[in-house]
Structures are given as C-alpha cells and as structure tokens.
Amino acid sequence: MTSMVSILFAGAATFALSASTATAQQGGISGAMGGKDPIASAQSAAPLSISSKANIVQFDAKGAMTVLRKGTNGWTCMPDAPDTPGPDPMCFDANAGKWAEAWVGHKAPPAGAVGVMYMLEGGTDASNIDPYATKPTAENAWINTGPHIMVVGSKEILAGYPSGAKPDTSAPYVMWAGTPYAHLMIPVKTP
C-alpha cells in the first residue's frame, strides 16, 4: 500500500471509527513524527476554526488507529505521515471520509456526497492521472500539489476547470480526471 493510499485510507477509517466507541489515548504512538506534536501537526492542515474542534487521529505502522483527541464538529484531522517525503497533514469532513473509503476500496464514491478536504501544509506529490500510482514514471504525470483544498464527490463542480495531465498547480484544476475519483484541487498558495 502506498503512503498516499495509507494516508487516505487512514482518513476513511477514521471517519468510520470516529462514530464508534474508540476512546482517546494520549501519547499512544511512540516515535511518530520524529518527536513533533501530532495534534499541532494535524491542526495545521485546516483553519483553526475547524481543526481546533476536530477529531485528531493517528495511525501506527501496522494501521492501528489512536484517537488523540475527540472532536465535536464532525471533522477529522490527521498529522503529517512521517514516511512521506513532504508535509501532508489533512482534515476532512464526513463526506470526504466516505469518498476516501470508496477510493481506497476501489469502489464507486457515494452519489450526492460532496466533501471537503484541507491540506494547508501541502501534500505529498502525486500522479495527476492515476489514483493508484505509487511513484513517478514518464507516463503518470507526477505533480507537486502544494497547499490546497480538495472538493470531492461532485462531477458537476469539475466543469470548466483544466483537466490535463500537467496542470498549472497555481490555479484550480481537476485531479484524476476521467476516473470515478476525479476531484477539484484548489491551491491556497503558489507552490
């Protein structure tokens, strides 16, 4: 499983588990993030008006989830994944969690469930055309995503935005066009 898949799978699993009886465990993952505060990292992914009230979760190398802080607003945030090359903390709403779960499971995303994901610290670089690419190749249009917001689960919102293999990532564009997981990428700073 790729790091990017692991990140989003963790997000999807978080959504499912946050509604369950998972209990918070402080400091449950040793060595994660090289000593950085995982809650501060997770909160850096979205505006504090969202991230300060969100569930904060973290996954260990075996995929076990620890709820670091129980949230109150329906959002979930995750800290930077230490095994990825760039900073990639993220926050997402419940619909984005459902979308991520569908993507990871190679299933159709739920209809009528538009979701939002924040990655204000940036994201690990990715293929702009292949949702399951694990590394850059000459054919898979690897791009630097930079800090961004993602709108997922709406084909209608994609109309009129560029969807080519090598988009200008300083302006809104469609990632993974032509796949069930196509979504709008909205940069918040020039990469």
Structure confidence at residue 59 (pLDDT): 82
Total of domains in the chain: 2
Residue-wise pLDDT for 105-119, tens only, equals 999 999 889 999 999
List, as one string, the DSSP characters of 131-147. TT--S--SSS-EE---S
| CB distance 90 to 81 below 8 Å | no
Statement to judge: residues 53 and 127 lie in one domain: no
* Parallel/antiparallel/unpaired status of strands 76-78 and 90-92: antiparallel
State percent of the chain over pLDDT 90. Answer: 54
Which pTM does this prediction carry?
Answer: 0.80
Residue-wise pLDDT for 177-190, tens only, equals 999 999 999 999 75
**Is 97 part of any domain?**
no
Statement to judge: residues 145 and 75 lie in one domain: no
Domain span including residue 18: 3-83
Is pLDDT of 28 > 60?
no
Structure confidence at residue 71 (pLDDT): 97
Sign of CA dihedral 136, 175, 15, 87: positive
Is pLDDT of 49 > 60?
yes
Statement to judge: residues 161 and 121 lie in one domain: yes
Statement to judge: residues 127 and 183 lie in one domain: yes
**Is 14 part of any domain?**
yes
Mean pLDDT of 53-80: 92
Q: How confident is the model at residue 82 (pLDDT cuts 50, 70, 90)?
A: confident
Name the one residue in this structure whose structure tokens are 């329906």. Answer: 74
Among the candidates 50, 83, 116, a domain finishes at 83
Q: How confident is the model at residue 8 (pLDDT cuts 50, 70, 90)?
A: very low
Name the one residue in this structure whose structure tokens are 């796949």. Answer: 179
Structure confidence at residue 191 (pLDDT): 45
Is pLDDT of 84 > 60?
yes
Q: How confident is the model at residue 35 (pLDDT cuts 50, 70, 90)?
A: low
Structure confidence at residue 14 (pLDDT): 36
